[in-house]
Amino acid sequence: MDASILLALRDPAGVPFYPVVFQALYVLTWALHAAFVFLALGSMGLSLYGTFKQKSDDNWKILTPHLIQTGKISISILIVLGVAPLLFTQVIYDPNWYVTNTLSGMWVFIFIYTLVLGYILYYWYYFANKKNQGGGKLIGIISFLILIFAGTLMHNFAVTSLMPNDWMNMYAPNGIVDNSGWTFNVDTVRLIFMLSLSIPVVGLFLQNYSRFLSTRRDFSEIFIDYCAKLGTKIGVVGLIISAVAFVAWMIQVGYLLHPLSIAIVVGVVILLFMILKNSNSYITTIVLVVVALLISSMRELIRFDIMAKLGYSIYEYPVNLEIPTIVMFLLTFLVLGGVGVAYLLTLAWKVGKNQGVFDGTKDKAVTKLGNYTLSIMVLWMVIYFGWGMTILFMNIL
Amino acid sequence: MDIIGQFPLFYFPEYGSAWMMGMTGTIHILASHTSVGAAMLFAYLSYKAYKENRTDLYPYMKKYGMFLLIFSYVIGSITGPGIWYTATAASPRGISALIHNFVWVWATEWVFFVFEVIGVFVLVYFIDKIDKKTHLKLTFSFAMASVGTLALIIGIISFMMWPGTQEYYTTGSASDAFFGTNTFPHMFLRIGFMIMLSGVIGLIISSAMKKDNLELSRELTKKMGYVSMLGGFLVLFFFMWYMGTLPDNAHAVFNITKADVIQSRIILTVVFSIYFLVAIVKPQFISTPLAGVMVFIILIAGIWPGEKLRESMRKPYVAGQYIYSNQIISRDVPGKGIKSELPIIAEKGLLQVNPFVPKNLKVITEENKHEVGKLLARMACSNCHSLEKTGKYRPLKDRLAGMDKEAIKSILYAIGAGGMPYMPTLKLPENETDAIAQYFASMKY
């Protein structure tokens, strides 16, 4: 696939802002999305182990439903966070994105219903396990496998999008056009690496979980200590597995000695040390986010280089600057998003730390954040309608 | 080299890939509209519970919330990107146009989504873990965020029909594309529908509460009846306003099925008015199975044909009245530097300008003519018509039944000359027209 075709496949409307910004947003939001993918799969996988233990083990009796709940919420968050990288990638890499979707049209359709089915079964698993007696094992395993399959489909799309030179052969092998949309490509090493990250992530989650509950009197010290140690064990083993898989992937793509790759390895070693020591898991989480950002950058670097070799540079994408909507986004993101999400998370944090009913009216931070969020929402609506009516009046009168 | 940005073609036999998008879209509309409607209803119930100190309303809200969490947020949040995915496979350039015009609007909507998804868990799980006043505040901000998602997507889906004014074509501005003449009527039409749906879903839960608390069940069933009635009235009122803001090609399509559409809508209105009246006057008659069936009827008889109609009324365009359903750009948009692809296609033909046509099919010969005709037919027609003899989705077998090659050709010429406002004015070189006509004739519809 030569540059002239790739350039022709770009949207003729151009991009509404500088491509580097979309690239940065893509890297950032993919890392956030992936973090919750790993947490969802990791906590669900571990909860399945728990369903076999919880009948006879008091620690697992408490931990298992909490892991299921964590997985359940994580899936919702990973879906919503996944929308952003989905959006940004097709702004600057539209040739890759749209070719992949059309070549794998059937899988795209199946992916959606796989996810719906997997998630609904997850809820079934959640309800079946409510009595803390190890219920819902089979349904949990089926749901887990379906969700892993959904992840594999997503991986298929990513791999296909990185193979521009093979697109024509996928679409019309031997000159015979195939419109069926059944194209499927897997890169096993890369997939194993991605899936393996679920293990250290759930390990670190357990350390955080234990740290969070340490202030609660309704949880025993034995349980809290058990979770911390379990987290350390899973985190360390998981990191070693991921590190091996990462090195294998880097050797495969020829980036092992690239500074970014080395930075990731260093990051993993630091993480390993921090998880082993477990002096403050919240700080370890920040380091994990940094490593996740580096991995996200690595993905982007590989793609950028593949495309650059073919003569496609996102930095040369024609720009049609679009000021009003970017101002809307930035203000909404920083003001409404910042304050609103801070409000929800503060509330959730404080309720979690509190025993019994939490009185938000007596908490200054919660009250202020709540009032600000509501006022900003109202203001946002006023601006939206004001803006819309101004545009309409100008255009039709 | 003259190339246009055509992607590989994904085609689902018998039904067509657009049909798959419609299926996902219909499910999504039910879920997403319910979730916004429910967010408003939640705020109302919370207000009532707080103001009148009605602690008995909270368990209902909790049940309603759990139902929504599973139904709207699981299905809605997956099928939302799901429409995007399937629409991308079916109409890549249509979606690309929306993305490249409205990326920041979508990104803004994403901020609301994040707030909503975290919010719904906080709202449902903390209903008995936080004080009532804080919960009330939460429900109000949650309802506003939900309406915010509608406010942001509405301009984008309205643009799919048309920008509403000519301004967009000269300025290329996303604001001019977003705020068209039909954006606000479209928004209020959907708000009405959301309110109605929130009541219709509410009836499932209120009727299921009979065993626990008969009196409360009746009171809430009545309320849901009023809520649904109000929503239904708003739908009818804004639908009429909305229709008045649509372009001529939309009316041309609408007029074909106008009588049927009006008749089926009247029947639906009567059936649902009776249902809502029963909920108000004789709440004890509303059972959970009946309430479930009514949701199903809305899905099958209300949303599915409604969305199909909206989809049809966009024809021949898929977005912004400059991209045809078959992924060809049909007009200049100077504000964005976009050029119509019709002249180059008329001169060189689809085979030469589409980068995904294999080499052996680039030039028509006697040997490959049938294969080329089939590929061209799929490229030009399959987004709106299924081509098989047993096709189900606007099948060509109904339109071309018994016609020979020359008759089919004359139809293709008429379409190319703009003779049908809801068909793309796609002029092809003679040899490509001939190949398509020969392929259709060989199908012997």
Q: Which of A9, A23, A369 to mutate to test the interface with B (most CBs of B within 10 A)?
A: A9
State pLDDT tens for residues B321-337. Answer: 999 999 999 999 999 99
Assigned token pair, A277:
């020591």
Q: Mean pLDDT over residues B299-328, rounded? A: 91
Longest dimension (CA), chain B: 83
State pLDDT tens for residues A347-371. Answer: 999 998 888 899 999 999 999 999 9
Q: How close B131 gets to chain A, by Cα (Å)?
A: 5
Single-letter residue type at A68: I
Of A175, A176, A341, the CB nearest to B118: A341
Cα B416 from Cα B404, distance rounded (Å): 19
Q: How close A234 gets to chain B, by Cα (Å)?
A: 28
pLDDT of residue A132: 65
Q: Mean pLDDT over residues A331-345, rounded? A: 96
Local confidence band at A336 (pLDDT 50, 70, 90 cut-offs): very high
ipTM entry: 0.93
Cα B376 from Cα B144, distance rounded (Å): 48
Cα A146 from Cα B276, distance rounded (Å): 40
Determine the angle formed by the axes of helices B92-125 and B132-161, rounding to 10 degrees: 170
β-bridge partners, B323: B319, B329
pLDDT higher for B305 or A301? A301
Q: How close B215 gets to chain A, by Cα (Å)?
A: 28
Tokens 């008749």 -> residue: B263
Q: Mean pLDDT over residues A317-346, rounded? A: 95
On the question of pLDDT at B60 being above 90, the answer is: no
Q: Mean pLDDT over residues A158-184, rounded? A: 96
**Size of the A and B interface in Cβ pairs below 8 Å:** 317
DSSP readout, A9-35?
A: HS-TT-BSS-HHHHHHHHHHHHHHHHH
Residue of B nearest to A333 (CA): B111
Alpha helix stretches (DSSP H) within B298-392? 304-313, 342-348, 350-353, 369-381
Percentage of chain A modeled with pLDDT above 70: 99
Q: Mean pLDDT over residues A382-387, rounded? A: 97
Of B89, B99, B174, the CB nearest to A108: B89
First to last CA, chain A: 49
Local confidence band at B17 (pLDDT 50, 70, 90 cut-offs): confident
State pLDDT tens for residues A198-218. Answer: 999 999 999 999 999 998 888
β-bridge partners, A15: A319
pLDDT of residue A216: 85
Local confidence band at B62 (pLDDT 50, 70, 90 cut-offs): confident
On the question of pLDDT at A238 being above 80, the answer is: yes
Contact: A102, B183; criterion CB under 8 Å = no
State pLDDT tens for residues A6-47. Answer: 999 999 999 999 999 999 999 999 999 999 999 999 999 999
Q: Are B43 and B140 in contact (CB under 8 A)?
A: yes
Local confidence band at B1 (pLDDT 50, 70, 90 cut-offs): low
Q: Are B40 and B143 in contact (CB under 8 A)?
A: yes
Contact: B138, A320; criterion CB under 8 Å = no
Q: Are B186 and B151 in contact (CB under 8 A)?
A: no
| b/e A99-131 (16+ beta carbons within 10 angstroms → b) | bbbbbbbbbbbbbbbbbbbbbbbbbbbbebbee
Name, in order, each residue with C-beta under 8 angstroms of A141's C-beta and a sequence gap of 6 or more. A48
Contact: B107, A84; criterion CB under 8 Å = yes
Local confidence band at B63 (pLDDT 50, 70, 90 cut-offs): confident
pLDDT of residue B64: 83
Contact: A347, B138; criterion CB under 8 Å = yes
Local confidence band at B177 (pLDDT 50, 70, 90 cut-offs): very high
State pLDDT tens for residues A128-140. Answer: 998 667 788 999 9
Q: Mean pLDDT over residues A266-289, rounded? A: 96
Cα B60 from Cα B219, distance rounded (Å): 12
On the question of pLDDT at A146 being above 90, the answer is: yes
On the question of pLDDT at B351 being above 90, the answer is: yes
pLDDT of residue B68: 78
Contact: B108, A333; criterion CB under 8 Å = yes
Contact: A76, B117; criterion CB under 8 Å = yes
Q: Tell if the pTM clears 0.80, that is, is over it.
A: yes
pLDDT of residue A205: 98
Of A80, A102, A326, the CB nearest to B114: A80
* Mean pLDDT taken over chain A: 95
State pLDDT tens for residues B180-234. Answer: 999 999 999 999 999 999 999 899 989 988 888 899 999 999 999 999 999 999 9
State pLDDT tens for residues B250-266. Answer: 998 899 888 988 999 99
> Which of 364-403 (B) contact A at CB < 8 A?
375, 378
Q: Which of B68, B140, B141 to mutate to test the interface with A (most CBs of A within 10 A)?
A: B141
